[in-house]
Chain A
Amino acid sequence: MNQQETDYRKQKAKSRLAWGVAIFFAIFWLLVALIPFAFMILNSFRKQFDMLSQGVFHFPDPWFFDNYPNIVKNGFFGYFFRSVLIVGISLVLMLIISSFAAYPLSRMSFRLRNLIYAGIVACMSIPMHVTLIPIFKMTNKMGLRDNLFALLGPYVTFALPMSIFILTAFMMTIPKEVEESAQIDGCNKFSNFFQIILPLSKSGLSTLAIYNGVSMWNEFAFANTLLTSANQKTLPLALGQFKGEHSADMPLMLAVLVLSALPMIILFIIFQDKLVKGMMAGAVKG
């Protein structure tokens, strides 16, 4: 009895120690994650030369708010709205096309089904950089050189394989009977899709929208290759553009960074659970 009690105490002390160590590391990593953000936000409220003279550990003195209006005056919202536009259109197209493709792959049996499915899954690992030069050439031939909408094709296509894969798995979980009863009521495959399968896939579609939205919002390589003039560039390119115009003004650049990171952080705090679910859907493919 006594022996048991001391064992229990020992174990409890041990687990308390383990938790102590765990919490220490948790807080350490919290600081690692947060300090760059603190650096970015605090310094964006300084005047250009205050940063070096005051040092990074000193709070801005005085707080300087003009960096933000300055950026807005220099066309920040142009970049912002172009990004919203291209990501919005790409996402809508991508979701329509991938749910179209996932429907027969998940709920019909036809001859080439397995081959097509395997092919699409294999496309997930194609590195986009290998396609950069051909797509650059293609875009020039199409007359879309330095045009925001040149990004539409690559953005939609490179999100397709993964989305089709996840949606196929998702649609497989919808019970067969739902469709069969509709078929008896005289629905064909097309009205089945629009009236039954698509509405039932809503939660899968929304997680995919968030997951792909983040990567399209941040996309750099295609945008940098296909767009050259400031009035076509998207938000990730705005940073380079502002740097070209105000290279020495570090606080101003940091203010650009804050503004460009803010939308994603706000969206994440609102849709946190959805995003994590979207990534889980991706994780299931393991």
Chain B
Amino acid sequence: MSKKKNTLARENARSTAFAATVFLLPALILIAIYMIYPIFDTFRTGAFKWNGISADRIYVGLANWKTLLADKVFWSSFSHNIIVMIFSILLQIPIGLLLATFLDASGRKANIFKIIWFFPYLMSSVAIAFLFNYILATNGGLFSSIATLINGKRTLVDLLGKNPQALFAVIGVMAWQFTPFYMVYFIAGYSNIDTTLYEAAIIDGCTRKDYLFKIAIPLLGPIFKTACTMSLIGSLKYFDLVFNMTQGGPARGTELMATYMYRLSFSEFNMGYGSCVAAGMFILITFIALLFNRIFVVKEDY
């Protein structure tokens, strides 16, 4: 009897395993081809001197890595990534939280605010890059025109042509683009808080302000941490906007790791070293993300 049951259970487990394999296979194959293999391949190509086109690849071992460690352009790009990261977290997340708080407190009648505030996030980074190139243009751009209006005489504001203004202009445009994303994120956070908590707090004599600062915002902790992690990883791999807006210039003042990698590989035809930069980028991003997760462990249960 028990033996029969046993074989039945085993039979069942086997059919489950078969079904699971069939269902999972397409996804796993694609991930293996387009994500896992490329990472290994990046590290492998990084050990060659290769222009990306010709058949002769010269094996150079760790020479590319030595170049990378001493490469001033790479490390200055990395420092730009870090500056972008710090300002992204300092601008996008607090403003996003403020906007979400306003929407949460004012309810459905502020829906029009929500819709319009979200608009910037709907444009592609490429379109935003072009648009802000025109808006920030020295001649005839919006900022120059405003300055001219205030000064009463023709004034030119050059935001993209000089360092370090260019990097901060880029940071400002990023804040314009991504704040709506974090806004929606925090709206989601607020709406996940149980309404009974609000009722209980009001019955206990809390004011709206007390509820907000002592209950709601602390409860957003885990969401806050995820938002920071996303902003952090996002700014370390930033590419589209800078590539289209400043091309890393002026004088590499807005060069980021990804744009440097792209330029090396696809315009300077130095694909071996470009791969090495990509691999270095992968290591740095993974390391920083893990470090961040280790430092900011937020208790998730409440």
Contact = CB atoms under 8 A, between A and B. Distances in A.
A73 interface: no
Given A129-B237, A221-B239, 17 more contacts: A29-B117, A33-B180, A98-B27, A100-B26, A108-B19, A125-B289, A126-B35, A130-B42, A131-B34, A138-B38, A157-B31, A160-B27, A220-B126, A239-B130, A253-B134, A279-B185, A286-B225
Contacts of A120: 27, 31
A193 to B, nearest CB: 7
B24 A100 contact: yes
Interface string B122-157: 111111001110110001111001000100000000
Given A134-B37, A220-B124, A283-B188, A39 B135 contact: yes
Contacts of A283: 184-185, 188-189, 192, 223, 226
B30 A130 contact: no
B163 interface: no
Interface string A4-41: 00000001000100100010011001101111110110
B278 A33 contact: no
A221 B265 CA distance: 13
Nearest to A277: B188
A99 B102 CA distance: 36
Interface stretch (B9-17, B59-67, B194-202): B9-17
A52 B35 contact: no
B31 A161 contact: yes
Interface string B181-224: 10011011101100000000000000111000000000000110
Bin the interface of chain B by size.
35 or more
Contact of B226 (A15, A29, A105, A286): A286
Main secondary structure of the interface of B (DSSP, over half): helix
Given A108-B19, A123-B35, A125-B289, A218 B125 contact: yes
Interface string A244-286: 0000001001100100110011001100100010011011111
A134 B38 contact: yes
Contact of A131 (B39, B98, B185): B39
Interface stretch (A62-70, A109-117, A173-181): A109-117
A184 to B, nearest CB: 14
Interface of B: 13, 15-17, 19-20, 22-24, 26-28, 30-31, 33-35, 37-39, 41-42, 45, 52, 95, 98-99, 102, 105, 110, 113, 115-120, 122-127, 130-132, 134-135, 139-142, 145, 149, 176, 180-181, 184-185, 187-189, 191-192, 207-209, 222-223, 225-227, 233, 236-237, 239-240, 243-244, 258, 261-262, 265-266, 271, 274-275, 278-279, 281-282, 285-286, 289
A122 B118 CA distance: 29
Query: What secondary structure prevails in chain A residues at the interface with B?
Result: helix
Nearest to A237: B126
B127 A265 contact: no
A133 B135 contact: no
Interface string A220-240: 110001000000000111011
A26 B20 contact: no
A276 B188 contact: yes
Interface in A88-144: 97-98, 100-101, 103-105, 108-111, 113, 116, 120, 123, 125-138
Nearest to A263: B122
Given A25-B98, A101-B24, A264 B39 contact: no
Contacts of A33: 116-117, 119-120, 176, 180
